[in-house]
Structure 1
Amino acid sequence: MSASSENPQVPGSVERVRRAARRVTNDYSVLARIVRESGLLRRRHGYYWTRFGLTIGALAGVWVWIVLLGESWWQLALAAAMAFVLAQLAFLGHDAAHRQVFRSRAWNDWAARILANAFVGLSYGWWTTKHNAHHAAPNQEGQDPDISPGVIAFTRAVMAGRRGWRGWLARRQGWFFLPLLTLEGLNLHVASVRTVLGREPLPHRWVEAPVLLTRLAMYVGVLFLLLPPRLAIAFLAVQLAVFGVLLGGAFAPNHKGMPIVPATAEIDFLRRQVLMSRNIRGGWVIDLLMGGLNRQIEHHLFPSMPRPNLKHAQSLVREYCSQLGVAYTEVGFFTSYRIVISYLNNVERQARDPFTCPVAGMYGR
């Protein structure tokens, strides 16, 4: 029986497109069932309680060494260690925000809120709004805040507005990308303070505002109490710079240089998450430095999957994508940065139509 006879009200070619669209939409449901039946979505309470204890213990240990070391420029090594520990706490907050840690939604929310505001000094409400928008539409113009206009131009449309010296810098922005990451830590704190003191709606502002502001003030105050002013300033500069590089370095390689999706494109969930994401190869060191976000494809497909289970899901996802003919991208750590830098230096020369809807592509629509 022909497609047109199955539905005489709809032309055959249109009906084929609709059936293809339904099939594509069901692709994720099949994968989700496979992963669910594998047990990889189950909570890993032992893993997370252990990591909570070790990381908070490491934070306490850094403070003890700051007190014991006193007036010494070796404090700058402790500043880097502080940045590393705070980044690990931020990754734990990220996991809790994605409901990876506890079964209870409230427990996850409050764990993430406490870690972000009281320990790391970032607004949980500000971050979740931004991050949820990114997950909903990675690399989509007008929807993903991570590619919105800013110091770095990620799209041709933004590049078109850069003239004069700003245009000159934009055409070489890849070389400035890594140095700019050293300012990301400060930028995150400033954005958080603006949010909690602003007028935009913010859930639990009555908790976030006093906790966040007290944490930031006490952190700076204790450093100046324990260290001479110039050493305290140097400590803060190193800690913020390393913190920015660690957090920015965990997120940037995963999407930058992958296809930019036009604002009007409609893409099924599986392809939206896989085709715009990049995994980073590496052993336990890369896992630690990137907080598990080096398996970005699996994380975007299953945001609530506990971090230690992502590596086990990887083979399932890669094989399934291969069966569907969906490109699964994975590169080495240094290769990922070469891609990012090259992309940023050549944004205005990128293809005008870097992404085509898979279903429409089947029929030349």
Structure 2
Amino acid sequence: MTQLLDAPPAPAPTRAAPRRERNTRHLSDFTDLTKRVRAAGLMKRSYGYYVSRLVAFPLMLGALAFASVQVGDSWWQLGIAVVLALLMTQIAFLGHDAAHRQIFGSAKANEWTSLLVINLLVGMGLGWWQLKHGKHHNAPNQAGKDPDVRRGTVAYTPEDVRSRRFAIQRWFSSHQGVWFFPIMMLAGMQLHIGGLQRLFARGPVDRRWTELGLIAVRHTALITFAFVVMSPPIAIAFLAVQVLVFGFYLGMSFAPNHIGMPMVPKEVRIDFLRRQVLMSRNISGGRAVDTLLGGLNYQIEHHLFPSMSRPNLRKVAPMVREHCERLGISYHETSLPRAYVEVGRYINRVGRGNIDVWACPLASSMRSGLV
């Protein structure tokens, strides 16, 4: 027995060498694509595109404020609130691009642009969102790692459903396919609250007072404006409609990106190219959809090249699709209505506990990328 305990470890299994070879091959798959993308000049900045929006959006906010003053104390202000919410979502998309360093070559310029856009104009907390979004990009749809599919109000995996201890929780899960889309209206409030919770948390927080100051200016200005121009009932309704429509628009823009795509167990590792492509869904529809979704419709390309400027995502998409087809990697693109159907069906099936997250057409392709 002593000899057995003191014996040297068994030699590595013969599969180790092929695994190392597969890792190297999969790394080169993405390296080859990156070289082609850079050679095509698709990592260059789109200064004109972004500067025009950095100028136009504040001017549009000013025009809405002027229109609101002209309307005065009227329930027509709710129409302006809807327009304001749509504009705020477009501004949030711009902040997303700045946070990914898509706008400027300077990291500092991107950082301050994202702070001014996200905190001062939209009223969210940049630091909290960056931490959350960075984890999502590192492990999209991976249980235990991607905060966007963590256990919460919505169950994204059968394990989440089984963890519900109370009957009322299980009832909500079994009906989540019905209320999933309406609950998107609360996404805006969640984003605002999440940012503030981080800034008020104990311990060191980067840019705490800068972020808090910008958020305070934004919310104070909007609330004060509403109550000065409108009577209290209309002002309250105006603010409520603005945040609810903002949340719904933003939530409905993010929902098609990954929900309903394969979920990955926590312990599984997948090479970068397949991890980003197989877990993401692109939305077709032309330039109108590009504008509507703020470039998030090219989710596959955005995850592969997060610092690529938004206008170049459309240009690189055919190259990425061709590369994936050559490697036998499933590249999923569908229309926006169809994407919502896929999201709703997945959410509904998970909530009822009758889905295997690996039982999908992409599973075979994904398993070929497991390392």
Give the alignment's TM-score, normalised by structure 1: 0.93
Shift of 1:283: 2.3
Summarize the Cα distance change of 1:352–1:236 in structure 2 as closer, same or farther, 3 Å threshold: closer
- State the superposition RMSD in angstroms: 1.8
Are the aligned partners of 2:135 and 2:145 in contact in 1 as well (CA < 8 Å)? yes
Structure 2 CA distance for partners of 1:357 and 1:205, relative to 1, 3 Å: farther
Counterpart pick for 1:56 among 58, 71, 74: 58
The CA distance in 2 between the partners of 1:325 and 1:289, in whole Å, is 31
Within 1, Cα distance between the matches of 2:159 and 2:37? 38
How far apart are 1:214 and its partner, in Å?
Answer: 2.6
Q: Which residue of 1 aligns with 2:270?
A: 267
Q: 1:203 and 2:180 equivalent?
A: no
Contact (CA 8 Å) 1:246, 1:290: kept in 2 or not? no
Q: CA deviation at 1:185?
A: 1.1
> What is the CA deviation profile of residues 85-125 of structure 1, one whole-angstrom value per residue up to 9, with x for unaligned ones?
11111111100111100000000011001111110000010
Aligned position for 2:356: 351
Give the counterpart letter for 1:341 in structure 2.
Answer: G
How far 1:21 moved relative to its partner? 2.1
Correspondence for 2:184:
181
Of the structure 1 ranges 234-243 and 266-275, higher mean CA displacement relative to structure 2 is found in: 234-243
Q: Which amino acid aligns with 1:129?
A: L
Checking the alignment, whether the CA contact within 8 Å between 1:277 and 1:296 is kept in structure 2 is: yes
Q: Deviation of residue 183 (structure 1)?
A: 1.1
| Residues 55, 89 of structure 1: 8 Å contact kept | yes
Give the structure 2 partner of residue 105 of structure 1.
107
Q: What percentage of residue pairs aligned between the two structures are identical?
A: 42
Query: Is residue 125–residue 203 contact of structure 1 (8 Å, CA) maintained in 2?
Result: yes
Structure 1 residues 234, 352: closer, same or farther in 2, change over 3 A?
A: closer
Q: 1:286 aligns with which of 289, 294, 298?
A: 289
Amino acid paired to 1:267: I
Query: CA deviation digits over 1:150-192, x for unaligned, max 9?
Result: 1111111111112412111111202101110111111211112
Aligned counterparts, 1:42-191, within 5 A: 42-162=44-164, 163-191=166-194
Offset of residue 304 of structure 1: 0.5
Match of 2:317 in 1: 314
Please report how far the alpha carbon of residue 356 of structure 1 lies from its aligned counterpart in structure 2 after TM superposition: 5.9
Instruction: Compute the displacement of 1:128 (Å).
Output: 0.4
Q: Deviations over 1:180-206 (max 9, x none)?
A: 011111121111222222225421112
TM-score, structure 2 as length reference: 0.92
Structure-1 separation of matches of 2:152 and 2:15: 43
Corresponding residue number in structure 2 for 1:330: 333
Equivalent of 1:15, from 5, 17, 21? 17
Q: 1:200 to 1:296 in 2, by over 3 A?
A: farther
Distance (whole Å) between structure 2 residues aligned to residue 360 and residue 96 of structure 1:
35
Moved more, 166-175 or 256-265: 166-175
**Structure 2 portions without partners, runs of 5+:** 1-10
Cα distance in 1 for partners of 2:107, 2:347 equals 38
Question: How many equivalent residue pairs?
Answer: 356
When residues 148 and 71 of structure 1 are mapped into structure 2, their CA distance, relative to the original with a 3 A threshold, is: same
* Structure 2 partner of 1:249: 252
Structure 1, unpaired ranges of 5+: 1-8
Q: Please say if residues 271 and 369 of structure 2, whose CA atoms lie closer than 8 Å, have aligned partners that are also in contact.
A: no
> Aligned in 2, Cα 1:275/1:200: closer, same or farther, shift over 3 Å?
farther
CA distance in 2 between partners of 1:222 and 1:359 (Å) = 52
